[in-house]
């Protein structure tokens, strides 16, 4: 399961949108990620209508991995072939 | 100085002012004093901020120990941005009243909705607490 950790590490520096389980969506630059897939974003902005005013004075944030629903990525940043191959290898290793 | 470059760590956030969003919808603001691998937090000089519309009110809460599983996000407060906020701070009594009114309006709308569905023979189960895996 270090697969997605490695995957996210390769995306550090890219702009992503993180959708949380509480329906909040946050756009920002991926600063770092850890083994729990906790995410740190910099230069954040709340994408959906600012019905979440409390985030106005926050520029950087730490998001607990357990509350993430989706991480939206730019399509051209992801090599899906590579990802597929890596996933197949991982599945093979897990079987053994 | 990050001891493990590339990893998300809260170690550099210690002693800075933070906004913490909890799973129950509450917003806490305080100085981060302690952390661990579960994202358990110790907040100092904590204030619970209640937002209703463009108004907000702060309730002083002292020292908080927050269990990591309740943390949604932790945001570092930019002190410059904090001073030019378009939001209006009001007294605790006023914000609690606003919150009560908003809560009542929401419950009423919910009640009407469930009634309308019931009249059509439908019932949607409530999505309660978040799934825990």
Q: What is the pLDDT of residues B59-90, one digit of tens each?
A: 999 999 999 999 999 999 998 888 888 888 99
Dihedral angle computed from the Cα positions of residues B15, B21, B26 and B31, in that order, rounded to the nearest 10 degrees = 0
ipTM, 2 decimals? 0.88
A89 pLDDT more than 80: yes
| B19 → closest Cβ in A20, A35, A58 | A58
Q: Is B8 helix (H, G, I), strand (E, B) or coil?
A: coil
pLDDT digits (tens, 9 = 90+) for A34-53: 999 999 999 999 987 766 77
pLDDT band per the 50, 70, 90 thresholds, residue B133: very low
> Could A54 and B39 be called an inter-chain contact, meaning their C-beta atoms sit closer than 8 Å?
no
Which member of A22, A24, A62 has the closest CB to residue B10?
Answer: A62
Q: Which of A46-50, A53-57, A58-62 has the highest mean pLDDT?
A: A58-62
Residues 6+ apart with CB under 8 A from A60: A28, A31, A40, A41, A42, A43, A44, B75, B76
Answer whether A58 sits within 8 Å of B76, measured CB to CB.
yes
Chain A residue with Cα closest to B10: A62
Query: Using CA atoms, how far apart are residues A1 and A93, in angstroms rounded to an integer?
Result: 11
For residue A9, the chain B residues in CB contact (below 8 A) are 6
- pTM confidence score: 0.86
Contacts of B132 (CB under 8 A, 6+ apart): B69
Give the span between the Cα atoms of A60 and B73, in whole angstroms.
10
């Amino acid at each position: 399961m270090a697969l997605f950790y490695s995957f996210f590490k390769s995306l550090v520096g890219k702009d992503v949108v993180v959708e949380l389980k509480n329906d909040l969506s946050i756009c920002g630059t991926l600063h770092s990620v850890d083994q729990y897939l906790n995410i740190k974003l910099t230069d954040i902005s709340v994408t959906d209508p600012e019905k979440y005013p409390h985030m106005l004075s926050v520029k950087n944030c730490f998001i607990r991995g357990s509350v993430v629903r989706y991480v939206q990525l730019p399509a051209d940043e992801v090599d899906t072939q590579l990802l597929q191959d890596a996933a197949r290898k991982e599945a093979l290793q897990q079987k053994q | 100085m990050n001891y493990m470059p590339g990893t998300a760590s809260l170690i550099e956030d210690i002693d800075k002012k933070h906004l913490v969003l909890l799973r129950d919808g509450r917003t806490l603001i305080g100085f981060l004093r302690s952390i661990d691998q579960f994202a358990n937090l110790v907040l100092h000089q904590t204030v619970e901020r209640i937002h209703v519309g463009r108004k907000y009110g702060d309730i002083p809460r002292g020292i908080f120990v927050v269990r990591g599983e309740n943390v949604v996000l932790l945001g570092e407060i930019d002190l410059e941005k904090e001073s030019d906020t378009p939001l209006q701070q009001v007294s605790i009594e006023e914000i609690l009243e606003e919150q009560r009114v908003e809560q009542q309006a929401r419950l009423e709308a919910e009640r009407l909705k469930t009634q309308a569905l019931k009249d059509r023979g439908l019932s949607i189960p409530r999505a309660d607490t978040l799934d825990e895996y």
